[in-house]
Amino acid sequence: MRKFFYFIVIVSAVAAIAACSKVGGEEQDDLDVIDENDNVFPVINATKPSANQVYRSGDSIIVEGNVTDDKKMYKGKVQIKNDASSLIVAENYYETHFLQAMSFRLAYHANVNAPTDFSVLVEFQDHGMNTSAATIKVKVNP
């Protein structure tokens, strides 16, 4: 039993070393390669919030949707910005090297003392450097 345990440990260590030796090699470099043949822009489908949606202070602004591409996407971001102060109050970044489709979600609990406009930005780029963006305006009332 003891010999079997040591055998498993040695095999696991060899497998881990072999996997680690690939980090930073050609496969890693392939992640940032520009695809000159990709001229189709990603398609963004933001299902929440709706344009000009009005929230009450204390509500959460929820951004949801998905993005697709004919090949593989590269990166993206989802942001919520307070238009009065120009501060980004919530954001998520994505690296999507191997995906043709993915969902996104971001929530921000909004508390305001006066009516405040917010901008939601959803932006994704594919490996052809084609960038698609969608901006949605919302308002939060006290």
pLDDT tens digits, one per residue of 76-125: 999 999 999 999 999 999 998 889 999 999 999 999 999 999 999 999 99
What is the extent of the structural domain holding 103?
A: 35-141
Spacing of C-alpha 56 from chain mean position? 27
Q: How many domains does the chain have?
A: 2
Q: In sequence order, what are the beta bridge partners of 131? A: 125
56 and 120 in a common domain: yes
* Structural contact between residues 67 and 100, judged by C-beta atoms closer than 8 angstroms: no
134 and 65 in a common domain: yes
φ/ψ of residue 127, rounded to 5: -75, -5
Whole-number percent of the chain with pLDDT over 70: 77
78 and 62 in a common domain: yes
More confident residue, 15 or 40: 40
Residues 20 and 12: their CA atoms lie apart, in Å, by 12
70 and 3 in a common domain: no
Banded model confidence at residue 66, pLDDT cuts 50, 70, 90 = very high
